[in-house]
Structure 1
Amino acid sequence: MQLKSLFATRLYQAKLGPIDADELRASCYSIAEDDDAGNEWCEANDFPGYTSYASLTDLPWRFPIFQAVVDALDEHVAKFAEDAQFDLDGRTLVLEDIWINILPEGGIHTSHIHPHSVVSGTTYVKMPEGASAIKFEDPRSQMMMAAPARLKDAREEMRQFIYVAPAVGNVLLWESWLRHEVPMNMSEDDRISVSFNYKWE
């Protein structure tokens, strides 16, 4: 008998690099405080906490600390692309957008994907005790039809959902089609992350 795993879904996790965590956290709060358009969008769309996703597209230009983050991300994304064995045909993966997420107690980010991008990810700025992990969904879920549930102690590669609880300074990367969500933040303090997409150019 021979068994093999097919169609791997890769998840990259590493330290972002020598980024000043205090400066990055302070910059996130400063931007959130001053971003009237972003706060209005969050209120109009019942978005918990704050995100700059719908308002600011030039964070690296506004704050040098974000340019340092992007410089570090470029290196990580290149490594991920090599591991994924993408045939980039002489082109590169470049930053498409980058945004701040401040999730207060009780806040959630519902399940979603990032259409039209190649690689997506998050780096973690503030993760208080009790802050929610990120939850990844098996991309085959919609095709399992009448399949029974997996055993509670199933091997990680066989589970329907995987929870990853990163630490401040970590970066996670995945292919943009991978569905993910952030369950409810059970901490009394804010959970802060910076998310991003890379496109093929």
Structure 2
Amino acid sequence: MAQIESLFVTRLYRAALSECGPAIDVQEMETSCIVIAEDDEAGQDWCEANGYPGYTSYASLTDLPWRFPVFADLVKSLDEHVANFAKDLEFDLDGRKLVLEDLWINILPEGGMHSSHLHPHSVISGTTYVAMPEGASALKLEDPRSGRMMAAPTRTKEARRELKPFIYMKPAVGDVLLWESWLRHEVPMNMAEDERISVSFNYRWE
């Protein structure tokens, strides 16, 4: 009898932020994100110069956990989530740790989007969700083999989830999603009238 099995699995971690670390007030985090965005002139200038819709602190602020205690608590929570994910991935860390490399705010207004990309030089990347109004865009994840399927036919609409070329994850406020940094992903256009707010991050092998 023929046997078919799935190989080379791509893992995605999803959990409530509150499952690990100190209790975090998501409303306080949302307020902090908005205050930082309003005060960060360097970040605003970078977004305007690079055609980034809305606001990101990626190119301007590297010390969010120092500036606001809620972000320091966030890092403690993320450290535990990432450690749990690394165990699931069965990484041989050789006695070393995965440590936070960078952490940044994303605020996408109506019509804003973030095109397909990956995170070079990192091991695990992820996002925690601070404000997800009705109609806010999901996270779109791409099959990492897509570039090697030049002659492959498309999948049927009814294809099993693990065979689909793209997966859309609709997180809730307070969720954290983690994936290996080589996984290409994007944020489609925000169709909500209100801002979609998230905090993204990278972890490296120290």
Fold match (TM-score > 0.5): yes
- Residue 192 of structure 2 aligns to a residue in which SS? coil
- Could you say which residue in structure 2 is the equivalent of 1:138? 143
- Could you say which residue in structure 2 is the equivalent of 1:37? 42
* CA RMSD of superposed structures (Å): 0.4
- Could you say which residue in structure 2 is the equivalent of 1:21? 26
- Could you say which residue in structure 2 is the equivalent of 1:189? 194
Deviation for aligned residue 1:33 = 0.5
Cα distance in 2 for partners of 1:67, 1:158 equals 39
Task: Give ranges in structure 1 of 5+ residues lacking alignment.
Answer: none
Deviation for aligned residue 1:80 = 0.3
- Could you say which residue in structure 2 is the equivalent of 1:74? 79
Cα distance in 2 for partners of 1:97, 1:40 equals 20
- Residue 103 of structure 2 aligns to a residue in which SS? strand
Task: Write the mapping of 1:54-93 to structure 2, written as runs, cut at 5 A.
Answer: 54-93=59-98
Deviations 1:138-196 (A, max 9, x none): 00000011100001011110000000000000000000000000000000000000000
Task: Write the mapping of 1:166-177 to structure 2, written as runs, cut at 5 A.
Answer: 166-177=171-182
TM-score normalised by structure 2 residue count? 0.97
Task: Write the mapping of 1:97-112 to structure 2, written as runs, cut at 5 A.
Answer: 97-112=102-117
Percent identity reads 73
Task: Write the mapping of 1:122-137 to structure 2, written as runs, cut at 5 A.
Answer: 122-137=127-142
- Could you say which residue in structure 2 is the equivalent of 1:10? 11
Letter in 1 for 2:142: E
Task: Give ranges in structure 2 of 5+ residues lacking alignment.
Answer: none
- Residue 67 of structure 1 aligns to a residue in which SS? helix
